[in-house]
Structure 1
Amino acid sequence: MLHPPSHSAPAQSSELLPHPGAVPGDGPRWAGTDRRASWRTAIWIGAAVVAVLAVWFGTLAMRHLIGPDEGRYAEISREMLATGDWVTIRYNALKYFEKPPFHMWVTAVAYSLFGLGDWQARLCVALSGLLGIGMTMLATWRWFGARAGWFAAIVLLGAPMWSTAAHFNTLDMTLAGAMACTLATMLLAQHPDASVAARRRWMLLCWATMGVAVLTKGLVGIALPGLVLVCYAIVARDGALLRRLHWGAGLAILLAVTVPWFWLIARRNPEFLQFFFIHEHWERYTSNVHSRSGPLLYFVPLIVGGMLPWAGLFPRMWKAMRDSVPQPAAFRPLLLVGVWAIAIFVFFSLSRSKLPGYIVPVVPALAILAAVALDRMDLRAWRRQLVGAGIVAAVCLMASPIVGSLNANNIPNLFYRTYAIWVAITFALMLAGVVLARWLAARGRLTASIAAYGVGMYVAFTVALLGYDTIGRPLSGADIAPAVAHRLTPGMPLYGVRMLDHTLPFYVRHPLVMVAEADELGFGTTVEPSRWLPTIAAFEAAWRDDGPAMAVMSPDTYQQLAGKLPMYVVARDYKRVVVTNRP
């Protein structure tokens, strides 16, 4: 059974990697008499961290933005910076109240510091993912020792649901990073060796991170941690935890972080409160208003795939949580992280609105459980895990040609055939990572084997992510953007005719004027009807009489309108045609 390491945690803080002469599986220790080995180990760790960080940030600019999320939040942030309005969120110049502004604020700051570009648009999620890794590592280190702390970081790094999500410009990763900090600071505040002042500081930071989560994606930022704590108190029969949360000061910090923006936007936009809290929270969760329904088990394959390199540890992770029964009335950290993962998983599984990114906040909790399972694993058990991982990688490698047969989401099969090569390389690298880990394990280097395996998985899935640009680049419109931008002037309207193009506006630095179909901008067109053209007839009149203009539309729409209106093609790709009304 697990007992809180109140007396042993300080001693464990010096444990990092096993001494080269250690007996296989006997646990890590530093050889105090062998300074050369200690320095060599430190150099290897430092080099690995530098290399990981170089790949982490260096790959942000190696892909083009993908719609809808990446292009949408990149463009919202660009318009925020261009207009100077950091309160009323706008997308294509229309009010857009679906989400709060924190993610867009950070991205707009990145633009102001580093200019406009793909990597600047992704910097917020990259920092969020890295912060989540660091805080999860710190909390695990504090409770279970340095070796387990490093394992938690390695698990998150090698989990594609975390490392890949941290390179997509979406709010889900920013929310998950904030919530990882919420979980970590809660764990740090409850450690039995923490002083009264330290517990207070960690808890107040916990409340602040919940405020950031609320400013990122709404009430889930506080509702989910609250749900977890209530469930934990019931399961652990530990109501005392709820009395150690520093409610007064904590709520004051939460309100100080969140209320100013909500007050300002509601004052300037009276329609905000009803839309944001009723439509975007209650109706989104309880109905299929956004047409994003899914079966009850929707997130099960996503969890398995998102934790694929570590999926073989699930039984051991469950056992670690189940066996965490300390002295009566003692805090149970593994039970809390287990309840965190289960409660959030169930919450979103019961929702009528489902998207893959919703489940990302459970991954840090799973990483802590996996780290503890790895820390307790002997060499023989780890070798069995590697056999299973090798079989999975080999099967996926043989099945990778299936990707080349796809023809979905209106994406030409040619792009999938090209991407299938990258998928094959990914699983070949996974297999190579397993082989390297087996080689190290055969020499009794258990910790080094686990570290090499995790980093190898990170490299493999990074390759898959980079290769996706074979599909993402033509989707983004970046190739035709220079020709379009050359003809656009700042005051010229760029119409989106029956088409909300999520990425081209960012690449040409120019918002759309929606025509005939509002798509997800329906709320904005309702409250500001003068900012769009509701019918094709209105577009035809403006196209003929309102001076120079450009329009982006699908090839089908172009075929329908080309015989009726003067249209001169500026640029086109398989997805869109961009035209002007002047030769």
Structure 2
Amino acid sequence: MRPDPLKSGPGAAAAAPGHEHEGVRPGHRLLRVPGVTALLALIASMLVIRLATLGSYPLMDTSEARYGEIARVMLTTGNLVTPQEIPGTPFWAKPPLYAWLSVASMRLLGTNEFALRLPSFLCALGVLALCASWSYSLGSRRTWSERTGAVLLAMAMLSTSVLFFVSAGAVMTDPSLALCTTWMLAAFHHAAIRGSRAPIWRFGFFVAAGLGMLAKGPVILLYVGAPVAIWTLWQRRLGWVWSALPWLTGTLLAGLICVPWYVLAEARTPGFLQYFLLGEHVMRFLKPGWGGDLYGTAHAEPLGTIWLYLAGALGTSTLLAAAAALGSARGWMRAGPRRFAIEPEHALLLLASLVPVVFFSFAGNIIWTYVLPVLAPLAVLVADFLVPRIEHVARRRFAVLGTLVAAAMLLGIAVFTWVPRHVAVHSSAGLVAQWRESTRSAPGVLVYLGRKAPASLRFYSDGAVQAIPDLARAMQGSDRASDGYLALAPDRIDEIRRYAAAQLPALAVSAIGANSDLALLRIHRVGPAGPP
């Protein structure tokens, strides 16, 4: 086996972790780690809360319901190549990995919110496991207690961060991307920095790359490729990196995983590659307010907004990250730039945390989920810095634990109180339930007045809703049937009543239900039918 460059230097060949506790049973040794009980309880609580609430509230418009509906359509049509938001209309904005995972889950558990969100939760578990492995392998000079404490603190930071917690229970593309980026970065650390020959790292790097291309596309090169390339040049280890990973066979493996789908997708729906590669990966970031978005509007934000998103994504852990940054800055000032050295493994963590954020600082269109893949390396980096400095100082431990407990309490309160109310007013699940209940005694077709029905309306009606943009045509169906049901924006209710009174006096309009986005009306006959 080739020597590990990080273990060949002076003082780097310390005894295997755990020597300071020889003869101590593993369970007792774990309990000796300062704060371990609180951290384990915190991590377990967040995971249990997240798992228990996966199916407790409906899909919310627009993004989550859209991805849920795409998965439902894929399941019902059997078309696993072309994601479709509406049958017959391809959805080019994202590759299909999230939909494949959701389809597999729904085949096992049925078409429901729990099944749709479960893949995101499993991806989050994978990220936590990778972070644990990554964190534990850092720094051969650390004691077993410090290693274990850093692992638990990193996992606690992640599980209590706002964006990680939210994404672990939402139907979206980002959790699978975060799993792939974390796997790639951890694999590079183990294989190229620590010298591991394990296939899960050497070949896993390329498996994760191929899956990442199916999760969200070439953007994975920004999250992983750029930090790895900069690290290699910075550390002057091009030759070592080339020999540590099977680049030729690995690249072929990654291509075998992702290229067939891209070829099939373009063959089935010509124009996909141009829109997805050029539009979604170039124009979206370089052109503020990009008008070529086929599935909504570009999220134009002031330059640098991504840093606010990062702070919001971390939640109270922003304080821990700030403390680590301040401590590093003090160390740099005390030692001076020439004497202050950063370990290669920490350099990778730093680059993986900062390079994507710096890039998005200059991007014209961003959303807060873009920072999800950087949370894992950032948590590992911050935890590795803090643990040696708080392990034997009780007040510092209490401050860190208090910060994390506060985050957990706020997230717990939100998921049981604010989230259900917020989601309910931005989802059509309740209105569809009212429509189904009404059709038991008064059957009728559900029509949406507009060009495209909200995704949650399509999902919960199993695709039964008809979208009709023209008011006359939408009302015409009710004139010929015993009953009809019309979903529309609440501010158009008076327009419907006036139209019915003037043009279709034989029809009565009654409100069944409404939320902040939609109203549901029942249109039924009260007089003789109009002329055919």
- TM-score, normalized by length of structure 1? 0.73
Match of 2:503 in 1: none
Match of 1:336 in 2: 348
Match of 1:86 in 2: 80
Letter in 1 for 2:167: A
1:216 aligns with 2:215: yes
- 1:418-464 deviation digits (Å, cap 9, x = unpaired): xxxxxxxxxxxxxxxxxxx36xxxxxxxxxxx567645633431322
Conserved? CA contact 1:551–1:580, under 8 Å: yes
1:32 aligns with 2:23: yes
Q: CA deviation at 1:215?
A: 0.8
Match of 2:57 in 1: 63
1:503 aligns with 2:456: yes
- Cα distance change of structure 1 residues 505 and 453 upon mapping to structure 2, 3 Å threshold: same
Q: CA deviation at 1:559?
A: 2.4
| SS of alignment partner, residue 305 of structure 2 | coil
Conserved? CA contact 1:76–1:89, under 8 Å: yes
Match of 1:572 in 2: 513
Conserved? CA contact 2:447–2:468, under 8 Å: no
- Cα distance change of structure 1 residues 38 and 316 upon mapping to structure 2, 3 Å threshold: closer
Q: CA deviation at 1:381?
A: 6.2
Q: CA deviation at 1:100?
A: 0.8
Match of 1:11 in 2: 16
Match of 1:186 in 2: 188
Letter in 2 for 1:470: R
Quote the Cα distance in structure 2 between the aligned partners of 1:332 and 1:30. Answer: 28
The equivalences for 1:510-549 within 5 A come to 510=463, 512-516=465-469, 535-536=470-471, 539=474
Quote the Cα distance in structure 2 between the aligned partners of 1:251 and 1:326. Answer: 38
| SS of alignment partner, residue 59 of structure 2 | coil
Letter in 1 for 2:519: V
Letter in 2 for 1:155: M
Q: CA deviation at 1:258?
A: 0.8
The equivalences for 1:175-574 within 5 A come to 175-192=177-194, 194=196, 197-198=197-198, 201-240=200-239, 242-243=241-242, 244-287=244-287, 288-289=289-290, 290-313=297-320, 314-317=322-325, 332-378=344-390, 383=395, 437=398, 454=404, 457-467=407-417, 468-486=419-437, 494-497=447-450, 500-510=453-463, 512-516=465-469, 535-536=470-471, 539=474, 550-565=485-500, 566=507, 568-569=509-510, 571-574=512-515
Letter in 2 for 1:571: I
Q: CA deviation at 1:337?
A: 1.1
Q: CA deviation at 1:563?
A: 3.1
Match of 1:173 in 2: 175
| SS of alignment partner, residue 475 of structure 1 | coil
Number of equivalences: 483
Q: CA deviation at 1:499?
A: 5.9
Q: CA deviation at 1:273?
A: 2.1
Letter in 2 for 1:203: R
Quote the Cα distance in structure 1 between the aligned partners of 2:84 and 2:508. Answer: 29
Q: CA deviation at 1:333?
A: 1.1
Q: CA deviation at 1:249?
A: 1.3
Conserved? CA contact 1:4–1:143, under 8 Å: no
- Cα distance change of structure 1 residues 570 and 457 upon mapping to structure 2, 3 Å threshold: same
Match of 2:105 in 1: 110
- Cα distance change of structure 1 residues 292 and 512 upon mapping to structure 2, 3 Å threshold: farther
Conserved? CA contact 2:434–2:513, under 8 Å: no
Conserved? CA contact 1:326–1:332, under 8 Å: no
Q: Larger deviation: 303-312 or 129-138?
A: 303-312
Quote the Cα distance in structure 1 between the aligned partners of 2:123 and 2:26. Answer: 36
Letter in 1 for 2:225: G
- Cα distance change of structure 1 residues 381 and 36 upon mapping to structure 2, 3 Å threshold: closer
Gaps of 5+ in 1: 16-28, 387-436, 439-449, 517-534
Q: CA deviation at 1:205?
A: 0.5
Letter in 1 for 2:232: A
Q: CA deviation at 1:554?
A: 0.7
Conserved? CA contact 1:128–1:177, under 8 Å: yes
Quote the Cα distance in structure 2 between the aligned partners of 1:9 and 1:123. Answer: 42
Match of 2:129 in 1: 134
Quote the Cα distance in structure 2 between the aligned partners of 1:542 and 1:67. Answer: 27
Aligned Cα root-mean-square deviation (Å): 3.6
- Cα distance change of structure 1 residues 336 and 39 upon mapping to structure 2, 3 Å threshold: closer
- TM-score, normalized by length of structure 2? 0.80
Q: CA deviation at 1:225?
A: 1.4
- 1:349-375 deviation digits (Å, cap 9, x = unpaired): 221111111111111111011111122
Q: CA deviation at 1:81?
A: 0.7
Quote the Cα distance in structure 1 between the aligned partners of 2:481 and 2:226. Answer: 55
Match of 1:155 in 2: 157
| SS of alignment partner, residue 299 of structure 1 | helix
- 1:128-181 deviation digits (Å, cap 9, x = unpaired): 111111101111112243332222212212222222322222212321222122
- Cα distance change of structure 1 residues 203 and 146 upon mapping to structure 2, 3 Å threshold: same
Letter in 1 for 2:262: F
| SS of alignment partner, residue 495 of structure 1 | strand
Conserved? CA contact 2:105–2:116, under 8 Å: yes
Quote the Cα distance in structure 2 between the aligned partners of 1:557 and 1:370. Answer: 52
Letter in 1 for 2:304: L
Conserved? CA contact 2:313–2:368, under 8 Å: no
